[in-house]
Structure 1
Amino acid sequence: MVLVCVERRSSFMKKRTLFAIVIAILFMIIGGVGTFFTQKQLINEREENAINKKIPTKENKTLNIHFSSSTLVTITKSDDDNIYMNKQGVDFKLDKTTQADCTFTEEKDISSLTINNPTVNHDSRYPFSIINFNSYTDDTVYLRIPQHYEAIHINGENINLSMYDFSIDNMEFNISTGSISLQDVRANHISQTKSDTDFMIQDSKVLDTLNVNSKQYDINVLNTTAKQMTLSTGMGNIFTGNTKGELNISSEDGDVSINHTTGKSTITTKHGDILFHDDAIDFDTTLSSTNGDITIETDTSSIDHNHIDFETSLGDISIFNKNLSSERKYKTNKGKISIKATTKNGEIDVEELDSEDTHYGYD
């Protein structure tokens, strides 16, 4: 009797397991079909809501671009005299009539482009959905600008701007709370007013002045040439690597790192540290800090054969692992190049760098 009950129970369990498997397979099929049709609908809706604007322009010399809302924007050159504005994707939280748009006006010598992009929203509408809605939306506005403009002024708040392969005489940014990234840009003048904006420029050539000011955000200049670079920040850090041109850098509380530069350098901080990293110092270099440490990484020839003037009020001086703590000043009168380092409360440390060194970085 017991054996019969066990057999019946086993048969019942097998049937229930089989039923559960069948139901699971049906749910998977239904879910797969539903996902397929949903994705197809999202793709169609994205294509229907794509923005493609072609704006004819006159031969004006100045273009003012204003962003009236938070925007991710990528700018490059146009191959003709038209401005092109493109935006792929759609914000599913907004009505179709409230997607990104722009207005364009022209007066004598000045053109104005205003872009309203209310679709910047990175939160998923369905956070637990198996479909990644971010794959079907794109907050980025793409602009292509004609090359006949001699000056471009760009302003806005909470703007994340990327520009590449662009040539202009004068480029002026007035962007707050965002970021600016320039790559392969050629200009006579580039400037960013003092505001909370990360700034990066790389692989670029500026014939005259690069002037960047930031309150709390960082400034990075890589593989770039400019006759005069003036970089200043309040609490952000400044980093340069493989630059050519005169450097004039100041910081209140941020650290400064200069790596492989060609040109006269003047670096000043109040509470930040200074790192000057160069395999051969061939131009006059002045480094000063009130409360920060100064580290110079270079070859022995740059120290042994140049005019050296190191002074610290309360810190120590160390040159190639030789501690000169008993002295607050170290001076030599060799050579024509002047290397001066002054700090009040910090240390001055000179470390040997291989003459073949080409590395730069934060490590």
Structure 2
Amino acid sequence: MRNKLLLFLFLFFAATASGQTPSLVSGHFVNLPLKKFFQQVEAQTPYFFYYDSTQVDSLTVNILVQEQSLPEVLQKLFRGTDLQFAIDAKNRVFVTQKIPLQTQLPPNFFQPVKGQQRTDHTQSMVITSTAESRRQAASENKIHEVGIKTNTIKPGNVVVSGYVRHERSGEPVANASLFVDSLNRNVLTNTEGYYNITLPAGSHNLYVQSLGMQDAKLKVVVYSEGTLNLEMKEHVALLKEVVVSAQKLANVNRVQLGMERLSIDAIKKVPAVFGEADILRAVLTLPGVKTVGEASTGLNVRGGSADQNLVLMNGATVYNPSHFFGMFAA
């Protein structure tokens, strides 16, 4: 019985020690896509990878490792790139771009000490990019290949054609502009969203713009003639509130349709008969006012007749504002 107990304890501690031993990675990986590398590591170790395919589809692995831990291998592999990784207690590896994933909260996160500020970075970490901007960045980093891929790119001009469509509805985007800034070449899509552009073989940055759509930037590697179909996302531009007013307060304070003023100095400047200033003659200098005749003080104001004018003096109506058969003003 004693021997059986000792044997059981020995097997238990051996299993515990073997479970606590970190899994090591070995192998010579040459021109291996990063996805394939993750699959081979998953076959060797108990680790499992979580990642976005659009962020790693253009990366290859060239590394030689001999019995090294996975964190050491990933640090060497991601050096010089914007990829980050995090490993949790269940051997799950999270590969992200620019910002590493936090797999656990710091100690006493929900029970802060009074009078003591947090020193962990989870309090001040602010992710400024939204999900839409992250997807756009992933799309810009993705490499689009046109033609049959070869080890060497033959020099020369090739024709790249395709369709530009709406991402959700699939409808063609007409009059979309596709241009390569470095080559100063630009084409427009027709009513069916079709385009073709002549580019030299090699790598280019292709910009796509259209009214009401979100601008797109694509990294294109042209090997030979081929098709490149594009999808654009709808973009709704939000405008701020605009208030249009034309002397709104002035219209409320003054209800007159139009009013002109004549000062005493202006009236005295008008030539007068027998040296006396004539107010009605001075009114003729205003726009829209015409005289009925040379020998009359009658006035036509903006097309109206002389009997339609109202003359007031200190609020009292003056029925006959002229004397001597209308030749002199009263």
TM-score (norm 1): 0.20
**Higher strand residue share:** 1
**Higher helix residue share:** 2
TM-score (norm 2): 0.22
